[in-house]
Amino acid sequence: MELDKENASQDENEDSKGWTILYGIVVGALAGQIVFYAWLTSVFE
């Protein structure tokens, strides 16, 4: 029983870590795009 609880808690932590990484990728992709668009604007201004 204790072992089940421990495993479930471990799965939840790994799951939560996975989501944090995904949200980080989304924010990183947005920041990357903004920088790229700003660069395009300055180069072709």
Partner 1 sequence: MSPFDIATLSATLVAIVFFGVWKTRHDRELGEFLKGSSNHWGTIGLSVMATQASAITFLSTPGLAYDSGMAFVQNYFGMPLALILIAVVFVPMYYKLNLCSVYEFLEHRFDAKTRTLGSVIFLIQRGFSAGITIYAPSIILTSVLGWNMNATVIGVGCAVILYTVTGGSHAVSLTHKYQMTVIMTGMAIAFGIVVYKISNHASFVENLNIAGALGRLNIVDLSLDIDKRYTLWSGLLGGFFLSLSYFGTDQSQAQRYMSGQSVRDSRLGLMFNALLKVPMQFMILLLGALVFIFYQWEKPPATFLPETMVQELVDTESDAYRNLENAFEATFETQQTALKDYVAALRSGDEERMEMLKADVEASGAEIREARTDLKRHIADVSGEASMKDSDYVFIHFILNELPTGLIGLLIAVILCAAMSSTASELSALATISTVDFYQHRFVKDRGERHYMKASRIFVAIWGLLAILFALFASMVESLIEAVNIVGSLFYGTVLGLFLAAFFIKRVGAHAAFIAAIIAQLSVLTLYFTNFVEIGYLWYNLIACFLVIVTSLVIQAAIGERKA
By CB under 8 A, is residue 37 in contact with partner 1?
A: yes
* Cβ-based nearer residue to partner 1, 1 or 43: 43
**Euclidean distance between CA atoms 15 and 33, whole angstroms:** 27
By CB under 8 A, is residue 14 in contact with partner 1?
A: no
By CB under 8 A, is residue 23 in contact with partner 1?
A: yes
Helices (H), the chain: 2-43
Q: Two tokens at 33?
A: 């795009």
Residue appearing with tokens 């609880």: 5
Binding site for partner 1 (CB under 8 A): 19, 22-23, 25-27, 29-30, 33-34, 37-38, 40-41, 43-45
